[in-house]
Copies of this chain bind each other. A is one copy, B any other.
């Protein structure tokens, strides 16, 4: 039943991952993960946990005490926030501009929220006024937003939403998985109450750990649902008054008790993923979060100029595009999947397909994290031009690379 290859060592083919994520992990992150383990309450371990909290405060641009990791993929961070705050019957408002808005609705429905949505065509973003108007009509308890939706490459402006939410006493959550560290995100300045992320985009790590940050106002409301496991409960512990949440694993109250000074046992921290998450944030702290964002903007723009010079049309409202991922309209007469196969099989380069209303209509090319570099941009442009020319598309020979070089000032 076991094939011979099942018994061989892991030996993945060399790939340059230029899709919408996951991307190649920074080699320093891979090395950090190969560190030997320490015990769950070893002083070295709890110190690494504290350092990780401090490092992610820098990434999220926040002073929030409760800045920590959820042990799972980026989606686990979203669900931990939603299931911890939403009480059955709560009204939530979700402005949907791509797939991940639908995901927020889906998770909120599973938390038995009353879900209200706003929708616009894929490729656009909302005007803050539209969202405020909906808030006035719906009176939601929570506004659930996505900052950057890789399905459409769009970046929703958030700057004004926090002030609107405060005025209407609405909690403000954002899924920043795809955008963080590649685009400006200012948790405190923008009055965000909860933000969640993942490592596998601009943070330059593997999927499997979800950094989250929570405002004091948010934490206070989660604490009202506090509930301690019977096996480890002692007399001084008091449960909150609200109905307990639907999850133990994602109960942020419990996760805070584990990350906080009480160190109350919950899960066994996924140490290797914590090492990875710490290293991602450490690398960014050394570079500087603003420099990291600027690097994504530089290389993202170089890619876009190259693609345009090749004669390709970019997708969506380009004034509201994420820096780190670009939608490219597949030209007439070109088989999009054939191009992806040739890039993967002959050049070892992966670019993304798309789904939903954009299925078969655009490719998605990402420049993020460790792969936000000049050599990856130029290599990808050269390979794409070669493949398109091979398939009969007239690609303005050499123009793409020259445009990128021009952008770099060479």
Q: Which residues of A are interface residues toward B (Cβ below 8 A)?
A: 1-3, 5-7, 9-15, 17, 19, 21-25, 27-28, 30-40, 42, 44-45, 47-48, 51, 54-55, 57-58, 71-76, 79, 83, 98-103, 105-107, 109-112, 151, 198, 200, 206-208, 229-232, 244-250, 265-273, 275-276, 278-279, 282, 285-286, 344, 350, 355-356
- Whether B267 lies near A110 (C-beta < 8 A) is no
Cα–Cα distance between A269 and B151 once the two chains are bound (Å): 17
Q: How far is the CB of A267 from chain B (nearest CB, A)?
A: 4
- Whether B2 lies near A246 (C-beta < 8 A) is no
- 17 CB contacts below 8 A, A to B, read A1-B54, A2-B54, A22-B40, A30-B36, A33-B34, A74-B267, A79-B247, A79-B248, A98-B231, A102-B229, A102-B230, A103-B229, A103-B231, A110-B244, A206-B273, A208-B271, A208-B273
User: Which residues from chain B contact A33 at a C-beta distance below 8 Å?
Assistant: 30, 33-34, 272
User: Which residues from chain B contact A36 at a C-beta distance below 8 Å?
Assistant: 12, 14-15, 24-25, 27, 30
Q: How far is the CB of A62 from chain B (nearest CB, A)?
A: 11
- Whether A71 lies near B208 (C-beta < 8 A) is yes
- Whether B75 lies near A10 (C-beta < 8 A) is no
- Whether B74 lies near A71 (C-beta < 8 A) is no
Cα–Cα distance between A53 and B34 once the two chains are bound (Å): 24
Of the candidates B5, B246, B269, B273, which one forms a contact with A51 in the assembled complex, judged by CB atoms under 8 Å apart?
Answer: B5
Of the candidates B15, B39, B105, B208, which one forms a contact with A272 in the assembled complex, judged by CB atoms under 8 Å apart?
Answer: B208
- Whether A37 lies near B12 (C-beta < 8 A) is yes
Copies assembled: 2
User: Which residues from chain B contact A272 at a C-beta distance below 8 Å?
Assistant: 25, 30, 33, 206, 208, 272-273, 276
Of the candidates B14, B55, B107, B208, which one forms a contact with A2 in the assembled complex, judged by CB atoms under 8 Å apart?
Answer: B55
* A73-B267 contact, Cβ under 8 Å, with A103-B248, A247-B110, A248-B107: yes
- Whether B42 lies near A270 (C-beta < 8 A) is no
Cα–Cα distance between A75 and B98 once the two chains are bound (Å): 32
Of the candidates B12, B72, B73, B208, which one forms a contact with A35 in the assembled complex, judged by CB atoms under 8 Å apart?
Answer: B12
* A35-B44 contact, Cβ under 8 Å, with A10-B278, A246-B246, A282-B6: no
Of the candidates B7, B112, B245, B265, which one forms a contact with A285 in the assembled complex, judged by CB atoms under 8 Å apart?
Answer: B7
User: Which residues from chain B contact A45 at a C-beta distance below 8 Å?
Assistant: 12
Q: How far is the CB of A239 from chain B (nearest CB, A)?
A: 12
User: Which residues from chain B contact A21 at a C-beta distance below 8 Å?
Assistant: 268
Output the residue of A14, A58, A208, A266 with the most chain B CB within 10 A.
A208
User: Which residues from chain B contact A24 at a C-beta distance below 8 Å?
Assistant: 36-37
Of the candidates B76, B105, B198, B269, which one forms a contact with A249 in the assembled complex, judged by CB atoms under 8 Å apart?
Answer: B76
Q: How far is the CB of A106 from chain B (nearest CB, A)?
A: 5
Q: How far is the CB of A194 from chain B (nearest CB, A)?
A: 16
Cα–Cα distance between A32 and B11 once the two chains are bound (Å): 8
- Whether A269 lies near B30 (C-beta < 8 A) is no
Give 14 new A-B contacts, CB below 8 A, not counting A72-B267, A103-B248, A247-B250.
A2-B58, A7-B282, A12-B44, A19-B39, A22-B39, A72-B270, A74-B268, A79-B248, A99-B232, A102-B229, A207-B267, A207-B269, A208-B272, A272-B273
- Whether A231 lies near B151 (C-beta < 8 A) is yes
Cα–Cα distance between A10 and B31 once the two chains are bound (Å): 9
Q: How far is the CB of A198 from chain B (nearest CB, A)?
A: 7
Q: How far is the CB of A346 from chain B (nearest CB, A)?
A: 14
- With CB as the reference atom, state the residue of chain B lying closest to A281: B6
- Whether B13 lies near A44 (C-beta < 8 A) is yes
Cα–Cα distance between A35 and B268 once the two chains are bound (Å): 24
User: Which residues from chain B contact A245 at a C-beta distance below 8 Å?
Assistant: 110
